[in-house]
Amino acid sequence: MNSLERLEAAMNLEEPDRVPLFYLYFGAGHSVLNELGVTMRDVYYTAQGIARTQLKAKEMFGHDNIMSPWGCITVEAEALGSKIEIKEMDYPKIVEYVVKDPSDVDNLEVADPLKDGRMPIVLESLKILVDTVGKDISVVGFMASPFTILDGIRGFDQIARDMLLNPDILKRMLEITTRTCIEYGKTMIDQGVNVILVKDGFAGADVMSRTQCSEFDIKYLKPVVTSLQNYGANVIIGNVSSKPYLDMQAALNPDAICFAAGDIGEVKKQLRNKVCLIGNVDHAKMPFKSAKDVEEEAKSCIEKAKEGGGYVLSTGCEIPLKTPTNNVKALLTAIERYGVYRR
């Protein structure tokens, strides 16, 4: 099997030749940048730079996918009008929200993926990757969920207040971010992308109640998942919450859920034959562990979730940029030793 076939088999709840390895965003990115002799600023703001760097990461770490954009959630927010500050060796930072006052929502419009912000750069990078390796490797488009985008256009502290004091304003913003997600995702698929990962990391008890999650998050995520699946892509929901509502996300029938918190074995029992699971090696500890320790944790995840297929090894979220190269390579070593399906 090639990487594309391997990941597709897992998302179809089948057993491929081995457990696939999923790469989130730009894990251990500084080591990749050092190999190329460039900075984040040099490569993250051109389509050619994004594609070149993703291909280098694939060469270094041996995972079964590549993706664009990387692990920031500012692309949609910038396209909707928020201002960013570019960093030399890190992701850009929102420095001015487009919605400072509820009245600003009147001027908020659905983003045009072909012309607004960095969306055209992302689309071009995906096209380059599809044309270069798309027959053998799964090219994944990444976007923030409708609720997650609010963090970049309004700020989470204000969003929390809006849920209680201005719910109608919040819902107006969510209608716009939902339409933005659908248009952006469809345009990604037009480039040849076959998988889209939607980051929905606020869907957890550490952020909101189940009632709030249903009203402000899941309700708006549902049409995104359905629309993009109907348009031809597999959809992965990503959740980095420490107390995730995985059952609520699984009820949307995505093709996979990537998550950080929880015992992978218990989650496998709960969601077996319902959705492919991606995770959940502890990303936060990757810079500090030895390669052997990383391999042992990956082995544990594989042994708990491998049986019956429908499992992809990954960290729960992006591996920190400063993580040593050997710690990332240990994930593939674990798969080669423990993740092969015997026929």
Closest to 73 in 3D by CA, of 140, 142, 121 = 142
56 assigned to some structural domain: yes
Partners of 94 in the β-ladder: 84
Q: What is the DSSP letter of 14?
A: -
> Which structural domain range is residue 57 located in?
3-328
Are 223 and 244 contacting, i.e. CB atoms less than 8 angstroms apart? no
Exposed / middle / buried, residue 189 (Cβ in 10 Å: 0-12, 13-18, 19+):
middle
Contact 286, 322 (CB under 8 A): no
The amino acid present at 337, given as its one-letter code, is: R
Answer yes or no: is 12 within a domain.
yes
How far, in whole angstroms, is CA 194 from its chain's centroid? 14
pLDDT score, position 71: 83
**Predicted local distance difference test score (pLDDT) of residue 182:** 98
Say if 234 falls within a structural domain.
Answer: yes
Residue 45 has pLDDT above 70, yes or no: yes
Q: Between β-strands 256-259 and 234-239, what pairing exists: parallel, antiparallel or unpaired?
A: parallel
pLDDT at 342: 80
Average pLDDT over all residues of the chain: 96
Domain membership of residue 189 (yes or no) is yes
Is residue 341 a part of any domain in this protein? Answer: no
CATH number for the domain harbouring residue 246: 3.20.20.210
Distance from C-alpha of 123 to C-alpha of 193, rounded to nearest angstrom: 10
Residue (of 152, 134, 156) closest to 144 by Cα position:
152
What percent of the chain is predicted at pLDDT more than 70?
Answer: 100
Split at pLDDT 50, 70, 90, the class of 337 is very high
Closest to 71 in 3D by CA, of 95, 48, 87: 87
CB 180 within 8 A of CB 110: yes
Residue 142 φ then ψ, to 5°: -120, 140
Structure confidence at residue 73 (pLDDT): 87
The total domain count for the chain is 1
| 294 pLDDT more than 70 | yes
140/197 Cα distance (integer angstroms): 7
Whether residue 197 lies inside any domain: the answer is: yes
Has residue 40 got a pLDDT over 90?
yes
Per-residue pLDDT band at 273 (split at 50, 70, 90): confident
Q: Which residues make Cβ contacts (< 8 Å) with residue 154, sequence separation at least 6?
A: 97, 99, 162, 173
Question: Residues 114-130: what's their mean pLDDT?
Answer: 98
Instruction: Please tell me what DSSP assigns to residue 216.
Output: I
Q: Specify the range with the lowest mean pLDDT, choosing from 202-206, 271-275, 311-315.
A: 271-275
Number of H helices, E strands in the chain: 15, 9
Structure tokens at 107: 């001027």
How far apart (Å, rounded) are the C-alpha atoms in residues 181 and 188?
Answer: 10
Asked if the structure places residue 277 within a domain, the reply is yes
Question: Quick check: is 280 in a domain?
Answer: yes
Whether the full predicted model's pTM is greater than 0.75, yes or no, is yes
- Nearest C-alpha neighbor of 24 from the set 225, 319, 324, 343: 319
The pLDDT assigned to 220 comes to 98
**Residue 140 DSSP code:** E
d(CA 153, CA 188): 22
Note the pLDDT tens digit of each residue in 65-95: 999 999 888 999 999 999 999 999 999 999 9
343 pLDDT higher than 70:
no
Predicted local distance difference test score (pLDDT) of residue 272: 84
pLDDT tens digits, 2-13: 999 999 999 999
Residue type, 177: T
